[in-house]
Amino acid sequence: METCSICLLVLGVASILSISLAVELTFELPDDQRQCFHENIDRGVNCTIEFQVVTGGQYDVDMTLEAPNKAFLHKVARKQYDSFSWQATIRGTYTVCFSNEMSTFTHKVVYMDFIVGDEPTIIPGKSPHIATAMTQMEVSSATVHESLKVVIDYQTHHRLREAQGRRRAEGLNDRVMWWSIGVTVVIVVVMVGQVLLLRSFFSEKHAHHLYQQT
C-alpha cells in the first residue's frame, strides 16, 4: 500500500445495514492539520472505533471522541494505535477527530475502523439474542462466517504492518543511498586534492631547479 496523494482514500465499506454499520478507511492527515468524521447514532447502540497510524514521523496522532452534548467520551494523545468501545447514551451526531497539529512538516497516514451497532445474524429469522436450535447447515454456515471475519481482520492488520515495514525500508534505503553519495563525493574530493597537492610539490621543485641553472 503506497501513501495516498488525495486527502481521503476509502479502502472498503465492510457493511452498510440498518442494524450494523462498519466503515474502514485510510486517509492522509497533513502536518499541522485536524480531520473529523461524523456519524449519527441512536441511543443504546454499541459502537467501537479503532485506529492505527500507518506511516509518518513518529507514528503518532491525537484522537478525540465527542458526544452530541459536546462531552468527550475518549481522548488520547500521541498514540500509534488505540481501540475504544462504548454504548451511545444520547441520540445524535458523534464526532471523532484526529489531530496532527503537533507536527510541523510530517504528514501521517491513518487507518480507521468505525463499527456502529451489532452485526446482524446470518441466519434469516433467527435472533442473535435468543437461543434457538439450528440445523447442521446453519451451524456450519455460522462457523464459516466467524472464521472469515477472523481472516479478514488478520489480513487488514497484516496489510498495515506490511505498509509500515515497506515505508521504513524505503526510508532506510534513501538514507543509505544519500550516505553512499556523500561518501563517494568525499572520496573524489580527497583524491583530487591529493593529486593537486602532489603536483604542487613537483612543480615547486622543478621551478627551483630552473632558477639555480640561470
pLDDT interval class at 22 (50, 70, 90): confident
Residue 1 and residue 8: Cα distance in Å, rounded? Answer: 14
Amino acid making up residue 90? I
191 domain-assigned: no
Tens of pLDDT, residues 113-127:
898 987 666 665 555
**For position 69, what pLDDT does the model report?**
93
Q: How confident is the model at residue 7 (pLDDT cuts 50, 70, 90)?
A: very low
Please check whether residue 76 lies inside any domain of the structure. yes
Q: What whole-number percentage of the chain has pLDDT above 90? A: 35
Residue 49 cell numbers, joined: 472505533
Answer whether residue 155 is part of any domain.
no
pLDDT at 214: 59
Mean pLDDT computed over 133-138: 74
Bigger pLDDT: 43 vs 208: 43
pLDDT recorded at residue 2: 39
23 vs 37 pLDDT, higher one: 37
Tell me the CATH number at 35: 2.60.120.380
177 belongs to a structural domain: no
Length of the chain: 214
Number of domains comprising the chain: 1
How far from the centroid of its chain's Cα atoms is residue 183's Cα?
Answer: 33
Question: SS3 for 63?
Answer: strand
The verdict on residue 61 lying in a domain is yes
The whole-number pLDDT of residue 190 equals: 93
180 found inside a domain: no
Put simply, whether the predicted model's pTM sits higher than 0.85 gets the answer no
Strands 8-16 and 21-29, by their bridges, are antiparallel
Q: For residue 156, what is its C-alpha cell?
A: 487488514
Angstrom distance (rounded) from CA 158 to CA 173: 22
Continuous segment of H or E residues that includes residue 95: strand 92-99
Quick one: pLDDT at residue 120?
A: 63
The stretches of the chain forming alpha helices (DSSP H) are 136-213
Q: Is the pLDDT of residue 196 over 50?
A: yes
Q: What is the pLDDT of residues 49-94, one digit of tens each?
A: 999 998 888 888 999 999 999 999 999 999 988 999 999 999 999 9
pLDDT in tens, 139-181: 787 788 778 877 877 787 777 778 777 777 887 888 899 999 9
Please give the pLDDT value at position 45: 92
Q: Is residue 193 part of a domain?
A: no
99: β partners? 34, 62
- What number of other Cβ atoms are within 10 A of residue 100's Cβ? 24
CA distances 96 to 17, 27, 75, 136, 171, Å, are: 21, 14, 10, 42, 31
% of the chain exceeding 70 in pLDDT: 78
Highest mean pLDDT among 19-23, 103-107, 117-121, 207-211 belongs to 103-107
Type of residue numbered 195: V
Mean pLDDT score of the chain, rounded to an integer? 79
> Within a domain: residue 201?
no
* Domain interval for residue 46: 1-121
User: HEC string of 141-178?
Assistant: HHHHHHHHHHHHHHHHHHHHHHHHHHHHHHHHHHHHHH
